[in-house]
């Protein structure tokens, strides 16, 4: 490629998990199984909530929307990564790269907002149980879901607005298995300091503030639960601890990658697997499949299907 001022990068080279051919094959099988479990597990939850009228409550609508976003979040880049394990040259076009950045921020931003909405729902249910019916209903829930998507899209557009027109004039090696914004910004032939400050105040601030919001609401909920001591509350405490685990596993890597962009950590690549692969798999396991109501709804649906 000609390196003059007018040349423009038309494709990026992805450096995914490297290693000898056998190891690549192992990754291929490993991540294929992971990806199929994510899609099947989450779709099962979405279908169960849609077909079981007993689960038509704000909490389960939010859960199934989370499952839906998880399918999206694991689909915008993971299948390409899986196929790339079999390829000699792992490349992506300029447009494909921008699309990956766009979708990552729509889905991850939407997921963050949805997690906040779910924490809010639990806060009202546990801390103000007498007002729950007045505060939360299906319509309020629908606007929370819509709001999450709108915020995700606006956030993504604001990030992409200053990325698409950057001068990419030569360097094109992205050290990850998909186009992650901090890694792509580093390749621009311009002063990246300003860009990184902008990214920090956009993605970093968004991740940081929703994380703090989540920690505060879960702390308030835990304190409330602790004051009452019945058997039901012990169960609620276990559920909440699980929620906090998921939230930390999702936000930890995001904040690490997006809020400390100035350092060049080689672990970024491994951490980005957390928010595109591990969280989408953990969410159904922790939020839903341990939940008795969901399990019995699934069994009911299955027996209905067997008898028809």
Q: Which residues sit at the interface with ligand NAG, rule CB under 6 A?
A: 46, 49, 61, 64-65, 68, 138, 141-142, 145
Nearest-angstrom CA–CA distance, 202 and 244: 24
- Reference 49, options 284, 306, 286, 278; nearest CA is 284
Provide, rounded to whole angstroms, the least separation between the CB of residue 58 and ligand NAG: 7
The β-bridge partners of 91 are: 13
**Residue whose CB is less far from ligand NAG, 54 or 216:** 54
Provide, rounded to whole angstroms, the least separation between the CB of residue 90 and ligand NAG: 33
CA dihedral sign, ordered 80, 81, 83, 89: positive
**Residue whose CB is less far from ligand NAG, 121 or 202:** 121
Provide, rounded to whole angstroms, the least separation between the CB of residue 173 and ligand NAG: 38
Nearest-angstrom CA–CA distance, 57 and 44: 17
Q: Are 244 and 259 in contact (CB under 8 A)?
A: no
Reduced to 3 states, what is the DSSP secondary structure of residue 308?
coil
Residue 120 makes CB contacts below 8 A (sequence gap 6+) with: 144, 217
Residue number with the shortest CB distance to ligand NAG?
64
**Residue whose CB is less far from ligand NAG, 75 or 91:** 75
**Residue whose CB is less far from ligand NAG, 48 or 217:** 48
Provide, rounded to whole angstroms, the least separation between the CB of residue 234 and ligand NAG: 29
Nearest-angstrom CA–CA distance, 287 and 285: 6
Q: Are 184 and 165 in contact (CB under 8 A)?
A: no
Provide, rounded to whole angstroms, the least separation between the CB of residue 49 and ligand NAG: 6
Provide, rounded to whole angstroms, the least separation between the CB of residue 69 and ligand NAG: 9
**Residue whose CB is less far from ligand NAG, 119 or 145:** 145
**Residue whose CB is less far from ligand NAG, 26 or 51:** 51
Q: Are 280 and 71 in contact (CB under 8 A)?
A: yes
Nearest-angstrom CA–CA distance, 201 and 108: 16
């Amino acid at each position: 490629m000609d390196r003059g001022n007018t040349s423009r990068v038309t494709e990026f080279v992805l450096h995914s998990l490297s290693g000898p051919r056998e190891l690549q094959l192992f990754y291929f099988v490993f991540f294929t199984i992971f990806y199929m479990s994510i899609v099947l597990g989450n779709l099962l939850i979405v279908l169960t909530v849609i077909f079981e009228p007993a689960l038509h409550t704000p909490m389960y609508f939010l859960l199934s929307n989370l499952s839906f976003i998880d399918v999206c979040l694991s689909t915008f880049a993971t299948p390409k990564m899986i196929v790339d394990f079999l390829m000699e040259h792992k490349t992506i076009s300029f447009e494909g790269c921008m699309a990956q950045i766009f979708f990552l921020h729509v889905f991850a931003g939407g997921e963050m907002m949805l997690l906040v909405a779910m924490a809010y729902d639990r806060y009202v249910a546990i801390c103000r149980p007498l007002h729950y019916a007045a505060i939360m209903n299906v319509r309020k829930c629908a606007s929370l879901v819509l709001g999450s998507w709108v915020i995700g899209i606006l956030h993504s557009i604001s990030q992409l607005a200053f990325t698409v027109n950057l001068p990419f004039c030569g360097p094109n090696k992205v050290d990850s298995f998909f186009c992650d914004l901090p890694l792509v910004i580093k390749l621009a032939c311009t002063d990246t300091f300003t860009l990184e400050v902008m990214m920090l105040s956009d993605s970093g601030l968004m991740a940081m503030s929703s994380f703090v919001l989540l920690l505060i609401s879960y702390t308030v909920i835990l304190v409330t639960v602790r004051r009452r001591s019945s058997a039901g509350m012990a169960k609620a405490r276990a559920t909440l601890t699980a929620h906090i685990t998921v939230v930390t596993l999702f936000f930890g890597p995001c904040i690490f990658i997006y809020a400390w962009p100035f350092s060049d950590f080689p672990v970024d690549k491994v951490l980005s697997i957390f928010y595109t692969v591990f969280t989408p798999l953990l969410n159904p396991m922790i939020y839903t499949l341990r939940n008795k109501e969901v399990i019995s709804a699934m069994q009911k649906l299955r027996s209905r299907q067997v008898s028809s």
